[in-house]
Amino acid sequence: MTENKIEGERIAKRMARAGVASRREAERMIEAGRVRVNGRLLTSAALNVTQRDMILVDGKPLAEAEPARLWRYNKPSGLVTTARDEQGRATVFERLPPELPRVMPVGRLDLTSEGLLLLTNDGELKRKLELPSTGWLRKYRVRVHGIPTDAMIAPLIRGLTIDGERFQPMTVTIDRQKGANAWLTIGLREGRNREIRRAVEAVGLEVNRLIRISYGPFQLGDLATGAVEEVRAKVLADQLGGQSSPPTQAPSRESVAPRRRK
């Protein structure tokens, strides 16, 4: 077991780079007694390891770290974003192509939400893309029941508090009204549980369809429902910039909120 705390890297980070889990999930696996290093059972993640160390996870050798990869997936409604569901509901992982390596979702979309879900084989990349400090704008096309007005959506733009929980300001555009329903484009930089649904309900509207169309610079585009497409390595490297956090998203036709349509 490596005793030098400077040499190598933290065991949880090494596990994340091997695609076992995110760093935080790897730490929980260690605390649960599922990891051995050079024959010794770990009880703490406060350990550095090198390529010389033999790491076993659930009794199996830890795979070599693979290059970080990222995929765009157009999630259909009716799937949960977990590996297993206690209620027996279908999961996104049951619908992914069998040739895909083990992947983890970047953030989540709830059962009835659709659209862009990023998948990665690398726990460190997952953590990086989910960090609040990343600050990437996530945009959604949202169909609501009701007739939204500028006054009605103003609290969403300012930011509001629901049951003591503060929601940060969103970008909101009223796109069009069609009968009893209207389409909005909503952008946010947080990932709270059911954030859009709860915020929209608080101002008197009801979400009946929610489609994520972008996550930072990564766009849903014309990707078919249920389809998976890998982000090219060069595109991924360009977007991450080789830095600890992705660069600020450059304005584009997709990333600039459209004006309110009359």
By the 8 A CB rule, do 80 and 92 touch?
A: yes
Q: What is the pLDDT of residue 243?
A: 42
Tokens of 8: 């190598």
Q: Is the dihedral of CA 53, 54, 58, 61 positive or negative?
A: positive
Tokens 């309110």 sit at which residue? 260
In whole angstroms, give the CA distance from residue 158 to residue 70: 33
Tokens of 110: 């709830």
3-state secondary structure at position 141: strand
Give the residue with greater pLDDT, 123 vs 137: 137
Q: Which of 94, 120, 108, 107 is nearest to 21 (CA)?
A: 120
Q: Which of 103, 136, 109 is nearest to 122 (CA)?
A: 103
User: What's the chain's Rg over C-alpha atoms?
Assistant: 21
Q: Which of 53, 58, 85, 110 is catalytic?
A: 110
Give the predicted TM-score (pTM) of the model. Answer: 0.75
By the 8 A CB rule, do 192 and 138 touch?
A: no
In whole angstroms, give the CA distance from residue 127 to residue 124: 5
Q: Is 110 noted as a catalytic residue in this protein?
A: yes
Work out the mean pLDDT of the chain and round it to a whole number.
86
Give the pLDDT mean for 132-153: 92
Q: What is the pLDDT of residue 88?
A: 87
Q: What is the pLDDT of residue 6?
A: 55
Cα–Cα distance list, 257 to 120, 137, 253, 260 (Å): 28, 11, 8, 9
Q: What is the pLDDT of residue 4?
A: 43
Condensed to tens digits (0 to 9), the pLDDT of residues 179-188 reads 999 999 999 9
Cα–Cα distance list, 21 to 29, 62, 89, 127, 222 (Å): 9, 12, 22, 10, 30
Condensed to tens digits (0 to 9), the pLDDT of residues 31-66 reads 999 999 999 999 899 999 988 999 999 999 998 877
Give the pLDDT mean for 20-33: 89
Q: Going from the N-terminus, what domains does the chain have, and what CATH number goes with each?
A: 9-61 (3.10.290.10), 66-262 (3.30.2350.10)
Condensed to tens digits (0 to 9), the pLDDT of residues 83-126 reads 888 888 999 999 999 889 889 999 889 999 999 999 999 888 88
Q: Is the pLDDT of residue 77 over 90?
A: yes
Condensed to tens digits (0 to 9), the pLDDT of residues 238-252 reads 988 744 333 333 333
Give the residue with greater pLDDT, 8 vs 46: 46
Q: Is the dihedral of CA 10, 14, 20, 23 positive or negative?
A: positive
Condensed to tens digits (0 to 9), the pLDDT of residues 201-212 reads 999 999 999 999
Confidence of residue 231 (pLDDT cuts 50, 70, 90): very high
3-state secondary structure at position 178: strand
